[in-house]
Amino acid sequence: MEKLNPEIKNQIENELLGTVGRRYRQETFWVIFLGVICIGGTVAWIIQLRKGLGVTAMRDYVSWGLYISLLFFFVGVSLIGALVSCVLRMSGAKWRYPLIRIAEAVTLSAIFFAGFMPVLDMGRPERLYFLITHGRIQSPILWDVVAIATYFIGSVIYFYLPLIPDLAIMRDKLTDAPMWRKKLWRWLAMGWEDNLLQRRLLKKAMLILCIVILPVAISVHTISAWLIAFTLRPGWNSTIMGPYFVFGALMAGTAIMILIIAKLRHGYRLEHYLTPKHFNNLAKILLALTAFYLYLNINKYGVPAFKMAKEEKAVLEDLFYGKNAFLFWFTQIVGLIIPIIILSFKKIRQSIKWVVAASVMVLLGALINRYLIVVPNMLHPFVPIQHAQHGYATYNPTLIEWTITASSLAGFVLLIILLFKPFPVITMWEVIEEVEKRGEKEIGVENIVNFQNIPGHAS
Amino acid sequence: MACGNNCSCNNNNAGNQDNSRRDFLVKGLIGGIGAAFLSGCSTNDKTKPESGEKINVLTHDGKLVTVDKSQVANFKPHISEEDVRKGIPGKKFVMVIDLAKCDGCGKCTKACNKMHYLPKNKEWIEVIEMQDSPEVAPYYFPKPCYHCDNPPCTKVCPVDATFKREDGIVAIDTDRCIGCRFCMAACPYSVRLFNWTEPIKPNIIETTPAAENVFQSKKGCVEKCDFCPHMAREGKLPACVTGCPMNAIWFGDANEDAVTCYDGTTTKLSQLLEDGGAYRFMEELGTEPRVYYLPPTNRIYDAKEIKIEKEGSEN
Ligand code: SF4
Ligand code: SF4
C-alpha cells in the first residue's frame, strides 16, 4: 500500500478544486443554450396556465400525456443516486468513490423535476395546497407526494453530508475567493476540523442514511408505477409494473450517468479520476440491467400476447403492428437489443465511445418507453372510443407540450451543471482517503499522483 | 309571475306585495321546504331600490325568467356542504336501462345537456353502438356514470373531490378538484370528462354547494353524470329519464324497491330486474355499478340499421 505524502494530497485537492467557479467556454455555451430553452418553456407554461390544459393535445381519452410520461422518467432517473451510493456501497465496489457526488447531483435534479411535472399537469395548480389541507391518505397520489418529498429531503442530506469535509477544504484553501463565498463555506462546513471523531460520526451518518434511503428510493418509483397499476385499464392492470418501472429506471439512470461522466471527463479534464475502469464497470451494470429489462419486457408484453384477451388485444396490436409499432420496436431493438449486443463484447465494452453510443440508445429507448407505457393504453379503454370529436381519439402533442417537455429536460441538465459549479464534482476527502488506504487501482483513478508531470494539466 | 306555485309563503304574501317587486328565489333554494323557506321569505327586503341590472334566474319549476338583480334575495343555502357530501337521507338511487327499448335517438343526451347547460360536444350520457360479436345483432347502449358502489374513481382522488354518498351517488366537488385526472384514468368506463378550457357559463345563479349544482363545468376540473341530485331532492326524475320517449330508462330508489320511467309508470325494481334478466356492465371488474341493463331481446327497432364505428375513428 502506498502512502500519500501531504504534498500529493495537496495536489489532488488543487486539481479537483480547479473546477470550482471556473468558467469553461463550452459549459457557458450549454448553460446559455439550456437556459434559453427553459425560458421558452416558462413562456409556454404561462400560456398554458392562462388558457388551460386545452392548449395541450390531451383530451378526455388520453387524459395523461407527455407530462406524466416525463414524471415517470424523472422519478426513474432519480434512482441512480441510490444505486451508486447504496447498492454499490453494499456490494463493496470501491470504484464508486469518484462517482458519488455526480450521481447525487443527477438524483437531486431529477427528483426536483419529478416533483414539478405533476404541477405542470394539474388542471388547477393553484389548488396544490389542497393536498395538504384536504389530503386523503388512501390515494396513491398522496403516497407519491410524500415519497417524492422524503426522497428529495434525503437526497439533499446525502448530497450535503459528504460535502462537509470538502467545504472545509475549500474554506481553508481557497482564501482568495470573495468574502460571501468564504462566509458561506465556513457556515456550511459547520466547524469541520477533520479529526477522527468527526470522520467516524460522518461515516456513521452516511451509513444510516444509505440504509434508510434505499427503500425510500425504491418506494418512490414503485408508487409512481402504482399510479397506473392501480387502475383497471387494459395494459395497466398488471402486477409487473412496480419492478418494471424500478429496473427500467435504474437502466435509464445508469445510461445518463455514463453520458455525464463522459462529458465531465473531457470538459473538466478529469481523465485521471473518471477512467476507463468506471466506464467499463458501469457498462457491465448497464448490460445486466438492459438484459434484465428485456426479460421483463418479454414478460410484460409476451404473456398477455400469448393469451390475447379481448381488451389487451387492442393495446398489443397497436404496439406490435399498429400506430405505435415503430416506437415500440425502436425501444425494443435500438433501446435494448442492440445495446445488449454492443455491451456483450469485452473488446467493444472497453471502448468509451461504444459505451457512450450504447447509453444514448438505451436512454432514447427509455424515454420513448415511458411514453409508450402511458399513451397507447389510454387510447384503448374497455369501452371502445366512438363518436369521438376531432382530436379526441388521437394524441399528437402540441407545440406548447413539446416546448414544456423539452425545457423540463433542459432544466434537468441545467440544474445538474449548476450543482457541479460551486463544488468539486468529485468527493475529494473520500478519494484521498481511499487512495491512501487501497491504492489508485481499486478506486479506479489513474496517475493522479504524478499528474503534474503531464503538461497542460496543472491548474 | 310567482316564484313558485306550490309555495305557501308567497301565496300568503301575494296580496300585499307588488308583483314586479316580488323577490325571486334563486334556484337551488327552492327544493327545500318548511322553516328554511319561510324564514327566507320573511327576510325579503322590499324596499331595495332597482339596480337596473337584469339577470336570468331559474324558477323551481324549470322556467327561466329575467328579473332585476335587486329582486334576487341572497339566501344562505339550506343544503349544507355536509348534506351534499352525505346525500339524500334514506335513499339509494338506482337506474335501469332497457336496451330492448332504446332506439338510439339520443334524446336522453339532449335532455341531459339541456339540464346541465352542456355544449354539444360534451355527453354525460353517451349512446354508443355495441356489438358483442360479429354474428350477433348490434344494439344501442346508453352509458351514464354507473355510480359504482365500489368506485375506482373515488378511491384514487387525492383530495376527496369526488366521493361516494350514502344515497349511492358518486359526486364531484368542483370547488375541491385539483384537476389531476387520476379519477379519469381510474374509471374503467371512460365516463369522466375534463374541462380543458374555460366552459361557457350560463347566466344563472346557483347557491347549492358545488357538488349539487346544475351547471358543474369549471375550467381545470372533471365532470360527469351526477344522477341529477337537485331533481331528486324535489322528488323528481333525472333529465335523461324524462327525456326518453321510449321508456327505456328507469330511475328510482332501491330502498323503496321502485323505479319510474318517462310515462310515469312505476314498477317494482326487483321484479323488473328479475323478469328482464338484468345484468350490470362489466360486472367482472368488481366496480358494482348502480345501473342495471336489461338485455336487448325482442328489440322494437330494426337492429340491422345500426352501423358500428371502427374503433378510434373521429367525426
Ligand atoms: S362509472 Fe366511472 S366515474 Fe362513474 S362511479 Fe363508476 S368508476 Fe366512477
Ligand atoms: S381530477 Fe379532481 S376529482 Fe379527479 S381525482 Fe383529481 S382531484 Fe379528484
DSSP-assigned states of every residue in A85-110 = IIIHHHTT-GGGGGGHHHHHHHHHHH
Residue B39: CB atoms within 10 A of its CB come to: 13
Cβ contact, residue pair B219, A61, below 8 Å: no
Q: How far, in Å, are A180, A222, B184, B313 from residue A136 at the CA level? A: 44, 19, 17, 38
pLDDT attached to residue A134: 92
pLDDT in tens, A51-88: 999 999 999 999 999 999 999 999 999 998 888 888 88
Task: State CA B97 to chain mean position distance.
Answer: 16
Tell me if chain A has a CB within 8 Å of the CB of B134.
no
User: In sequence order, which ranges of chain B are alpha helices (DSSP H)?
Assistant: 8-13, 35-42, 81-86, 107-115, 152-156, 182-186, 229-233, 239-243, 269-276
Compare CB distances from B178 to A124, A391, A394 and report the shortest one's residue: A124
- In chain B, positions 140-179, which contact chain A (CB-CB < 8 Å)? 143, 152, 155-161, 176-179
The ipTM is: 0.87
Name the percent of chain A lying above pLDDT 90. 48
- How would residue B308 be classed by pLDDT, with cut points 50, 70 and 90? confident
As for ligand 2, residues whose beta carbon falls within 6 Å of it are B 156-157, 159, 161-162, 172, 177-183, 222
Q: How far apart are CA B156 and CA A261, in angstroms?
A: 40
- How would residue B2 be classed by pLDDT, with cut points 50, 70 and 90? very low
pLDDT in tens, A285-309: 999 999 999 999 999 999 999 998 8
pLDDT attached to residue B32: 38
Nearest CA, atom 4, ligand 1: B145
Closest atom of ligand 2 relative to the B179 alpha carbon: 1
List of chain A residues whose C-beta atoms are within 8 Å of the C-beta of residue B287: 232
Q: What is the mean pLDDT of residues A351-356?
A: 90
Joined grid coordinates for residue B43 = 327576510
Which of A59, A128, A383, A392 should be substituted to probe chain B, the one whose Cβ sees the most B Cβ atoms within 10 Å?
A383
B55 sits in the region (left: phi over 0; alpha: psi -120 to 50; else beta) called beta
Tell me if chain B has a CB within 8 Å of the CB of A453.
no
Q: Taking a C-beta distance cutoff of 8 angstroms, is the pair A128, A92 a contact?
A: no
Closest atom of ligand 2 relative to the A123 alpha carbon: 1
Read off the pTM. Answer: 0.85
The average confidence (pLDDT) of chain A is: 87
B187 C-beta closer than 6 A to ligand 1: yes
Joined grid coordinates for residue A171 = 474554506
Compare CB distances from A122 to B129, B161, B178 and report the shortest one's residue: B178
Q: How far apart are CA B188 and CA B225, in angstroms?
A: 15
Nearest CA, atom 8, ligand 2: B157
The amino acid at B165: R
